[in-house]
Structure 1
Amino acid sequence: MAGLPEHKRLLLGYPVNMVTPPEAFFAWRRELALVGLDQFAFNNVGDPYEHSHIEFNSHAFERELITRFAALYRFSADDTWGFLSNSGTDSNMHGLYMGRKLLTGRAGVPPKIYFTAEAHYSIQILADLLGLERVEVGTEVDGRMSADSLGLSLAEHADHPALVVATVGTTFKGAVDSVDEIQAALIGREAYLHVDAALFGGYLPHTAFADELAQRAGGASRYDSIAVSCHKFFGFPSPAGIYICTRAAFDEFRAHFSQVHNPEYLLQVPGTITCSRDAVKPAEFWFFSSREAFARQRADAKQILSDASYLYGAMKTRFPELEPIRANALSNTVYFKKPSDEVVSTYTLATMKLRRDGAQVPYAHVVVMPHATRAVLDQFLSDLGRAG
């Protein structure tokens, strides 16, 4: 473990904010400990919006932080339900499970799940776990879902409802699936749209691109549920996830879910797949939903997009042979042909083979997070030059 605190600033290949939270966060942790949270057994089992006769929970904090983030994503205040999950994958699982339940109940046949090869690998795992037949949708050059390909795929499977996963910030390329284009393709279809915005969902609401994640626009619903990771952009020091859906979708789901299990033991239908739930994380993550926290997040969002532009420009000028690409102005990711193994190791770069001119070519990427300051990026650029 020695040396890790010093080395953390050089982690550039994965979407993790390595900035240590402010001292006020640790003071908040101490306040929570004084009332017993994380000192003896607290449990957030059950629906945080329903009365729980197990009083040792943090449901009040959980409801408050969901309310605050739902407002950021422009959910209607009277049409919101959610909870803090164990991780981004857990949030995705709830979205896909809810979509499968609703669509099967409406149509009498299970849905097929639609997503691209650029989506996070958790979607592949969850499709298998939930027994969903997969339909891989093609992509545009930048990596976003192709509306034309989606339309063709939907037409091929007209007898089944559609469970569609839109990825706002694809894992390797930082592409953004267009929610509006997807919705246009779904007109007339029985469908459920889940948005996986694990990283981008943290910072986009604080930028000029906030509309991309608005749940409602012009009085209409744009998607049914969203998943955002707490441990990526925010810098929360433990894996956790935000899950928010419309209250209408949840109420419909709850009617089906109540038939799956006997809710008598809890005196309520819990609404979550997980039974016992961590009570510490919602209370701790509440700290990241305050007005002051949102102000810090706005500053961090501005920094990472500015520095992503800086890195992209510098790499195009100094290392054109690496063919750097930034998918769009919303993205904090720059990907390029794989540099030396030394650079990959020093900066913990993620690598993948991408198809280029009929061949599989190894690429790497840098995800510009708040700890990746200009000084760190300049060091990276310098090391690229020496390695070349």
Structure 2
Amino acid sequence: MLTRRRFLASSGTGLLALASGCRALLPDTGRSLSQEAVSSLVLPSLADRIRNVKLKNYLLGYPINMSSPPAGFFAWREQLNDAGIGAIAHNNVGNPFEKSTIHYNTHDFEREIIQYFGERFAFPPHDIWGFLSHSGTDSNMHGMYMGRTILKSRTGLQPKSYVTHEAHYSVHILGDLLGLESIFVETLPDGGMDANDLRRKLTENRNHPALVVATIGTTFKGAIDRIDQLQEALEGYASFLHLDAALFGGYLPYTSHSQEISYQIGDHRRAARYDSIAVSCHKFFGFTSPAGLFVTTISHFNEFNEQFSRIHNPEYIHHVPGTITCSRDAVKPAEFSYYTTPAASARLTEDARMMLENTEYLQAQLLSYFPHLESTRANAFSNTLYFRKPVSFIVEKYSLATMRLVINQKQRDYAHIVVMPHAHRNILDEFLMDLEQDRTITT
């Protein structure tokens, strides 16, 4: 098998040969480039990337886990490569729970992933459907499209979507893409959806079914929409409740707060608390490229797919695909299956614990030594702190996200930190030291 290492060392046209002063032939034209020309084009870019990797732990403003996956993940990748996954074309077209006529797929890995995480989200083991999507936004799109399709089928009416301004911007884009009228629900002081205002808005629009997109961990404030209260408000209405749990849905199952995103809770398994859920793989898990989980029930999928089949029933692939996207990445499910292993679960549990402990530590330090920053943590489950925007060099050094917020009827600039697994105490302490050096607030 021709590995990357063997390729680099195999011939005079490889990069190792270039390092020895040889000239490389360009395969498409036969033209050659000198070592100096290649160095001027390639090496500065690589050097910049290497520097960025060394500074990765300073990225505090966005929900990206910059910790490198463990050695076991890369060993698994090698095994997959040896099996041809990632070495030759594979395609996960169609429903992963249906037999495919295209043998070069990883539907088996995909099914195992959805079953594993579906059970972690407390779905009934016998009633789980989903797939590994291209991203959290892709998962949100499928949840909103499924909800729109089911509600329109049940009522004959186009639903209206109920969201807050705190929801991720992808939700607003997708509402426009799906032709949904958006009803904006007010938020509570912590940033979560106000169930009482939802009741008012539902009453005002009672002639239309309701597609509610709730957020478990809002983008900037880290608020959690109270889904049980939302369900109480929805009682008596034709509705579909989709959860955008991009970040929090990754780590909460590994904590004692897992019921915050449980599909059902309690010894006797109450009625469903929501209808579908979207989680990002590249946030808490630290998966090395964007991907997303989409999980719902088989019963919801069957109801949706009956309507979906009326749009197109492709004889070409021998079944109704059930997904919006046709060709889907087959390498990602195979790679991401590593995160269902006991070793990965143990590491993720430890990451979640340390992440929340470090969030609590940073919040205590900010409140004690920098009260003027007005640091706020929306809830005890959140790894997000938002505070008055510090000086520019701190914003730039730690890649802080910033927003202008209206709090207590005053509009001011705020920044936030998302304490991910790579944000170790030494980095947080350095951030605090930088704050100490300059206490000036940019207003």
State whether TM-score is above 0.5: yes
CA drift at 1:358: 3.3
Deviation of 1:24 (Å): 1.0
- Secondary structure in 1 aligned to 2:182? strand
Match of 2:304 in 1: 253
Alpha-carbon distance, 1:295 to partner:
1.2
Equivalent position to 1:40, from 77, 85, 88: 88
Partner residue in 1 for 2:4: none
1:86 maps to what in 2? 134
Among 109, 121, 126, the alignment partner of 1:61 is 109
Cross-structure match for 1:369 = 420
Structure 2 counterpart of 1:350, one-letter code: A
Q: Which amino acid aligns with 1:209?
A: H
Residue 3 of structure 1 aligns to a residue in which SS? Answer: helix
Partner SS, residue 221 of structure 2: coil
| Equivalent position SS for 2:423 | coil
Q: 1:297 aligns with which of 320, 328, 348?
A: 348
C-alpha distance after superposition, 1:20-66 (max 9, x if no partner): 00111111111101111111110000100000010000000000011
Contact (CA 8 Å) 2:313, 2:319: kept in 1 or not?
A: no
Most deviating of 249-258 and 31-40: 31-40
Of 282, 306, 309 in structure 1, the residue corresponding to residue 333 of structure 2 is 282
For 2:143, the equivalent position in structure 1 comes to 95
Asked if the contact 1:343/1:387 (under 8 Å) is kept, the reply is no
CA-to-aligned-CA distance 1:276-312 (integer Å, 9 cap, x gap) = 0000000000001112211111111111111101000
In structure 1, distance between residues paired with 2:54 and 2:434: 18
The offset of 1:206, in angstroms, is 1.2
Q: Distance in 2 between matches of 1:37 and 1:2?
A: 27
Asked whether 1:326 is paired with 2:340, we answer no
Q: Which amino acid aligns with 2:395?
A: V
1:3 aligns with 2:51: yes
Correspondence for 1:354: 405
* Cα distance between partner residues in 1 of 2:235 and 2:375: 37
Q: Which residue of 2 aligns with 1:382?
A: 433
Name the residue aligned to 2:190: 142
Cα deviation for residue 319 of structure 1 reads: 0.6
Q: Deviations over 1:304-348 (max 9, x none)?
A: 111101000100011111110000001000100000000000000
2:219 counterpart of 1:191: no
User: Is 1:244 the counterpart of 2:295 in the alignment?
Assistant: yes
- Distance in 2, matches of 1:325 and 1:221, equals 32
Partner of 2:72: 24
Report the secondary structure of 1:64's partner residue.
helix
C-alpha distance in structure 2 between counterparts of 1:348 and 1:280, whole Å: 30
1:168 corresponds in structure 2 to 216
State the shift of 1:207 in Å. Answer: 1.1
CA distance, structure 1, for counterparts of residue 306 and residue 230 of structure 2:
28
Q: Deviations over 1:202-236 (max 9, x none)?
A: 11111111111110133311111000000000000
Please identify, of 287-296 and 276-285, the stretch whose mean Cα deviation from structure 2 is larger: 287-296
1:243-288: CA deviation from partner (whole Å, max 9, x where unpaired): 0001111000000000111321110000000000000000000001
Deviation at 1:97, TM superposition (A): 0.2
Q: What is the CA distance between 1:86 and its match in structure 2?
A: 0.1
1:7 and 1:74 map into 2 onto residues whose CA distance is 38
CA distance in 1, matches of 2:327, 2:56: 33
Residues 115 and 165, structure 1, Cα contact 8 Å, conserved in 2:
yes
Question: How far is 1:356 from its partner?
Answer: 2.7
1 CA distance for matches of 2:243 and 2:210? 14
Q: Work out whether residues 337 and 362 of structure 1, in 8 Å CA contact, stay in contact via their aligned partners in 2.
A: yes
Kindly state the Cα deviation for residue 2 of structure 1 after the two structures are TM-superposed. 3.7
1:356 & 1:114 partners in 2: Cα distance?
23
Amino acid at match of 1:325: T
Q: Which runs of 5+ in 2 are unaligned?
A: 1-48
Secondary structure of the 2:66 match is coil
Residue 385 of structure 2 aligns to a residue in which SS? strand
Percent of aligned pairs with the same amino acid:
55
Aligned length: 388
The answer to whether the aligner puts 1:182 opposite 2:230 as a matched pair is: yes
Q: Contact 1:350/1:364 (CA < 8 Å) preserved in 2?
A: yes
Counterpart among 261, 271, 274 of residue 220 in structure 1:
271
- Flag as ranges the 4+ runs of structure 1 deviating above 4 A: none
Measured in 1, the distance between the counterparts of 2:273 and 2:210 equals: 15
Structure 1 residue aligned with 2:361: 310
Q: Equivalent residue of 1:78, what SS?
A: coil
What are the ranges of 5 or more consecutive residues in structure 1 without an aligned counterpart? none
Q: Is 1:205 equivalent to 2:253 in the alignment?
A: yes
- Residue 59 of structure 2 aligns to which amino acid in structure 1? L
- Superposition TM-score, scaled by structure 2 size: 0.87
Q: Which residue of 2 aligns with 1:71?
A: 119
Counterpart CA distance in 2 for 1:300 and 1:2 is 25
Give the match for residue 336 of structure 1: 387
2:342 matched to 1:270?
no
Q: CA deviation at 1:104?
A: 0.4
TM-score by length of 1: 0.99
1:116 paired residue number: 164
